Amino acid sequence: MAKDLRQFLQVAKEVGPDYYVEVKKPLSPKLEVCVIQQKLAREGRFPVIYCPKIEGSDLPLVTDLFGSREMMGLAMGMDPRKATKQDIFHEFRRRNGTTRPVQTVASSQAPVHEVVLKGDQVDLGLLPIIHHAPLNSGKYVSVGCMVCNDPDTGIPNIGIYRHELKGKDKLGAMLNPGHHAAYIARRYAELGKPMEVAIFIGHHPAAILGSQYTGPQDVNEYEVMGGFLDESFLVTQALTVDLQVPALAEIVIEGIIDPLEMVTDGPFSEYPGYYGEGAKPCYLMNMTAITMRKDAIYHDLDPSHREHNLSGALAYESAVYDAVKSAVPTVKEVYSPPSGANVFTFYVSIAKRVPGEGKRAGLAALAFPTNGNAVVVVDEDVDVFNEEEVLWAVYTRMVPDKDILVIPAITGPHLHPTAYDETGLKRGPMTTKMIIDATMPVGLPFAKRIVPPKDLWESMNLEDYLS
């Protein structure tokens, strides 16, 4: 069976209540879904949450598909009860950038074309679009994947962008100027052409991980999604725009962006955990069709929940891993902890053999992701997935006046609350970056770490000793 959202929900349900729960009463689209998710998180629980009824819509809603790394392991076919964070990261790396040719199916065979609404029938009010946080400017489609074709190459680009509900048939599109979709929109503006777009909502989470691909613009991200799914991605021709859309999506919204017309977006509950400052410019999409399955499921994501940052974390870590590997081939692991919003802070372990490699690894790590602003480099004996151990290395191996490097005023991280502009006075896109080299010196004496005796550690079974 080809992979899609409903097939994944069945798998999650079978693994058990740690991975799948259902809500038993109707929920308001304003805040209620997110508070359930946040309360579960407070208890350390990150199951997929299925909400059969959202007031005002006939469509069920599902959220928290990316609430834990284990869930992303499940998306990649791993047993979430057994896979370690390390296993999940390396499985992601295996799939990331592995492309598979897409397979095209006829519109009549495409489940996403079971219901077709065009012209006056287009009504975004049919969808359970959520108001996520008290001070947000409105309701947002928070985990739609927007497809547009590069006008020069015809290659589709796909990414998650937030879309504020602007009317019955209008959505905003907040494209970070550094993302490929924004390059494409600017190119349409230069050519004086409208940009045809389609947003698909609800698909297998492995496919959605593919939307976070950080490689070159001329890679077809449907082919990347196929790599993540480990099977060809099924597409069909859209009905009112000249784009291919996923045949197995739950919902597709087709429309057109005039790349010269800007509206505003926000304030919004941004991924660092703060509200963004006021309203920012964004594109406006005029919808031309909504297509969906007869029993479509709407996929939402709470931007104030850690699932937002986690859903892109593996892609960033993978890019940092590649960047460090090119400078220090003995890189071992890379981890971006939730305490650094999964994008600001990276813990990198290396097998250090050459003096200076700790700082080289840190520089390489910061060179790639525009969002990284702090890197801690540790030796291979330190478990980067264990934040307490990383901090132990910092406090016992780092010499502050030699091992903390501060790099002033580089672009990014985007939306970091401390970011400043060229004058250093106002909020802008620049931040100071920091490297902490917590590696031990090479070729110089250093205190020996205490570790348990290997033989006894491995042979001892605590139950034989304790009553």
Ligand X SMILES: Cc1cc2nc3c(=O)[nH]c(=O)nc-3n(C[C@H](O)[C@H](O)[C@H](O)COP(=O)(O)O)c2cc1C
Positions in the binding site for ligand X (CB under 6 A): 143, 157, 159-162, 174-176, 179-181, 212, 301, 308, 311-312
Identity of the residue, 95 or 359, whose beta carbon is nearer to ligand X in the bound complex? 95
**At 167, which amino acid appears?**
G
Closest CA to 291 of 251, 255, 234: 251
Identity of the residue, 127 or 435, whose beta carbon is nearer to ligand X in the bound complex? 127
Q: Name the minimum Å distance from CB 434 to ligand X.
A: 23
Strands 48-51 and 20-22: parallel
Structure tokens at 392: 């132990």
* Beta strands per DSSP E along 32-143: 48-51, 61-63, 103-104, 115-118, 140-141
* φ/ψ (deg, to 5) at 45: -115, 135
**Which residues, in sequence order, are CB contacts of 42 under 8 Å at separation 6+?**
none
Identity of the residue, 311 or 439, whose beta carbon is nearer to ligand X in the bound complex? 311
Strands 234-237 and 244-246: antiparallel
Sign of the four-CA dihedral 80, 85, 89, 91:
negative
Q: Name the minimum Å distance from CB 122 to ligand X.
A: 22
Identity of the residue, 59 or 175, whose beta carbon is nearer to ligand X in the bound complex? 175
Q: Name the minimum Å distance from CB 458 to ligand X.
A: 41
Q: How long a stretch of residues is the chain?
A: 467
Identity of the residue, 181 or 289, whose beta carbon is nearer to ligand X in the bound complex? 181
Q: Name the minimum Å distance from CB 310 to ligand X.
A: 8
Task: Give kind and range of the element (H or E) at residue 430.
Answer: strand 430-437
Identity of the residue, 213 or 335, whose beta carbon is nearer to ligand X in the bound complex? 213
Strands 195-201 and 298-299: unpaired
Q: Count other Cβ atoms within 10 Å, centred on residue 441.
A: 15
Identity of the residue, 122 or 301, whose beta carbon is nearer to ligand X in the bound complex? 301
Q: Name the minimum Å distance from CB 356 to ligand X.
A: 32
Structure tokens at 457: 């550690």
The residue nearest ligand X at its CB is 159
Q: Name the minimum Å distance from CB 331 to ligand X.
A: 23
Identity of the residue, 150 or 379, whose beta carbon is nearer to ligand X in the bound complex? 150
Q: Name the minimum Å distance from CB 363 to ligand X.
A: 23
Q: Name the minimum Å distance from CB 143 to ligand X.
A: 5
Q: Name the minimum Å distance from CB 159 to ligand X.
A: 3
**Which residues, in sequence order, are CB contacts of 305 under 8 Å at separation 6+?**
34, 37, 38, 41, 64, 67
Identity of the residue, 150 or 169, whose beta carbon is nearer to ligand X in the bound complex? 150
Query: How many angstroms separate the CA atoms of 234 and 245, rounded?
Result: 8
Structure tokens at 94: 């295996």
Show the CA angle centred on residue 425, arms to residues 421 and 427, nearest 5°. 50
